[in-house]
Amino acid sequence: MAYIVKFFIELWNVTCMMAPWLLFGFFAAGVLSVFFSPSYINKHMGKPGLKSIIKAALFGVPLPLCSCGVIPVTVSLKKQGAGRGAAGSFLISTPQTGVDSILATYSLLGLTFAIIRPVVAFVNGICGGLLMEYFGKPKSELKPKPQETTEKCKMHAGMEHSMEMPQEQPKGFAAFIHVFKYGFITLLGDIAISLLIGLGIAALISLLVPPDFGAKHLTSNWIAFPVMLLFGIPLYVCSTASVPIAAALMLKGISPGAALVFLICGPATNAATITSMSKVLGKKSVVIYLSSVGAFAIIAGLILNVMDVHMPITETAVEKSMAGPGMIQKVSAVILIALIILALLRQLLKHMGFGKQVMEHTLLVSVKGMTCSQCSNAVKSALSVLPDVQEVDVDLVSGTAAIKTDDPEKVFPSVEKAVNDAGFSCFLKQTRQQRNKTKSSCSCKHK
């Protein structure tokens, strides 16, 4: 019981330290969503070359997209004409940081980390994009067949809606509503579970790991850095949720450079992104993508350790634990927790079917790899433009797509291809014929 109480005390303290900056970050993300629509981004990234690569990195740094949420946007950019280098630059720079994570980093790790993270993401995006542009193109890359052009153009047009941002910039009161809806409902709902997991892991590290763990076992950069790489590359953690974990590791003696390696690799890569992007950009580009992220993480970590910059994380944590959170931090933490609970309740109610219109679907497909609203929107957009598809409903929580069509067996191959092209995978769960057969067999057995 004592450990449980200590765990929740640690969790509360970390939440209080981050809450004011997170709330402001979500608001800033909502403001960005008004000005950076997909069509605006595509307009500046549509041509190959250094200029588009730099713009892609510049656009990617402030956008609050995680390593899975960036998948449909990168696919959309590539399909709408963005060069391989620009798409790669956006893929590398975007998940490493965002306006919300920069503010969260400042709240726990100080100004130095808050500056280094976006700078590394920007430079890494440019260098990785250039390498993909010139060395990532597969030899067997084929041009689309003429008969496929019309259908693919329709798909590409639908993929513009992969990000849950307006195609036309809202104005006046509508823009104000959109800022709060995107920042505090859509974005917070996307990362609510990841954020809770990150805060929980940070509290567990603070509670269970000995204070001198890093000083005893991870003193050498050549031991600590590879450990952080192996820990961070396959892990799915958003840039904001990685901050409390890195702070907790530093409090246990991990060097600032090793913590920076985790802050770069953890958000920038995960198993789902690696698998999906190999289909879109090719295996060579994925190797370049992983190599550049890992190399930049190690170089940035070494530079940070050599600089020997004063990190106030330990002193700040001690002061916070002695003085306790302030009133603004407590109120912000209560508001943040309430918003997270509401987001989780919305997901639970949606999963249970409350407030959901029942569609008489004829094809039920299980989609793998969706983690946020951008993912589900990308799948829905890709399927909605297919011929013979009348209506589509994609449920992010259950990971299923309900499709209304007159000929499910004929449509499924096109559905599978569209989902794969969007960067995800799927398999057939049920058709109307299979459902009717199941009902008939059940009724026969009952008789």
Q: Are residues 374 and 282 in the same domain?
A: no
Secondary structure letter of residue 399 according to DSSP: T
pLDDT at residue 299, as a whole number: 92
Rank 143-147, 154-158, 330-334, 345-349 by mean pLDDT and report only the highest. Answer: 330-334
Q: Are residues 46 and 87 in the same domain?
A: yes
Amino acid letter, residue 379: V
Q: Are residues 407 and 290 in the same domain?
A: no
- Tokens 């930049």 sit on residue: 296
Q: Are residues 174 and 252 in the same domain?
A: yes
pLDDT at residue 212, as a whole number: 66
Amino acid letter, residue 377: N
Q: Which two tokens stand for residue 149?
A: 């052009």
Q: Are residues 300 and 391 in the same domain?
A: no
* Geometric angle at alpha carbon 437, from 432 and 441, rounded to 5°: 150
Is 311 a member of any domain? yes
Contacts of 233 (CB under 8 A, 6+ apart): 265, 269, 270, 290, 293, 294
How far is Cα 303 from Cα 152, in angstroms, rounded to an integer?
Answer: 46
Indicate if the pLDDT at residue 161 is higher than 80: no
Indicate if the pLDDT at residue 437 is higher than 60: no
Secondary structure letter of residue 157 according to DSSP: H
- Tokens 């992104």 sit on residue: 273
- Domain stops at, among 335, 353, 378: 335
**SS3 of 395, please?**
strand
Is 353 a member of any domain? no
Indicate if the pLDDT at residue 340 is higher than 50: yes
- Tokens 């003429």 sit on residue: 146
pLDDT at residue 296, as a whole number: 92
Q: Are residues 108 and 200 in the same domain?
A: yes
pLDDT at residue 123, as a whole number: 94
* CB distance 80 to 47 below 8 Å: no
Q: Are residues 182 and 242 in the same domain?
A: yes
Is 342 a member of any domain? no
Give the domain extent around 395: 363-446
Is 340 a member of any domain? no
End-to-end CA distance of the chain: 55
Phi, psi angles (nearest 5°) of residue 153: -60, -40
User: What are the C-alpha distances in Å from 32 to residues 176, 287, 301?
Assistant: 12, 31, 30
pLDDT at residue 323, as a whole number: 53
Secondary structure letter of residue 406 according to DSSP: S
- Domain stops at, among 335, 353, 375: 335
pLDDT at residue 203, as a whole number: 80
Is 435 a member of any domain? yes
How far is Cα 98 from Cα 83, in angstroms, rounded to an integer?
Answer: 23
Count of the separate structural domains present in the chain: 2
How far is Cα 113 from Cα 102, in angstroms, rounded to an integer?
Answer: 9
Q: Which two tokens stand for residue 432?
A: 């109307």
pLDDT single digits (tens) 257-271 = 888 999 998 888 777
Q: Are residues 137 and 78 in the same domain?
A: yes
Helix axes 99-109, 256-268, angle to 10 degrees: 160
Work out the pLDDT band at 359, boundaries 50, 70, 90: low
pLDDT single digits (tens) 185-195 = 887 887 788 78
pLDDT single digits (tens) 222-242 = 788 888 888 888 777 788 888
- Tokens 């920076």 sit on residue: 260
Is 354 a member of any domain? no
pLDDT single digits (tens) 15-73 = 887 788 888 878 877 887 777 665 666 666 666 678 888 988 988 888 877 766 677 67
Is 128 a member of any domain? yes
Is 153 a member of any domain? yes
Q: Which two tokens stand for residue 180?
A: 């709060």
How far is Cα 207 from Cα 11, in angstroms, rounded to an integer?
Answer: 10
State the sign of the Cα–Cα–Cα–Cα dihedral 181, 186, 191, 192: positive
Sheet holding 363-368, edge to edge: 389-395, 400-405, 363-368, 425-431
Q: Are residues 243 and 182 in the same domain?
A: yes
Q: Are residues 291 and 367 in the same domain?
A: no
Work out the pLDDT band at 441, boundaries 50, 70, 90: very low
Candidates 331, 317, 394; CA nearest to 363 is 394
Query: Residue 391 sits in a domain of what CATH number?
Result: 3.30.70.100
Q: Are residues 316 and 367 in the same domain?
A: no
Indicate if the pLDDT at residue 76 is higher than 70: no
- Domain stops at, among 335, 353, 388: 335
Secondary structure letter of residue 22 according to DSSP: H
Amino acid letter, residue 402: A
Q: Which two tokens stand for residue 404?
A: 């209304």
Contacts of 393 (CB under 8 A, 6+ apart): 359, 361, 380, 401, 402
Q: How many CA atoms lie within 13 A of 234 on its CB side?
A: 3
DSSP conformation letters of 285-300? HHHHHHHHHHHHHHHH
Q: Are residues 381 and 280 in the same domain?
A: no
The model carries a pTM of: 0.70
User: What are the C-alpha distances in Å from 303 to residues 33, 255, 308, 415?
Assistant: 34, 12, 9, 48
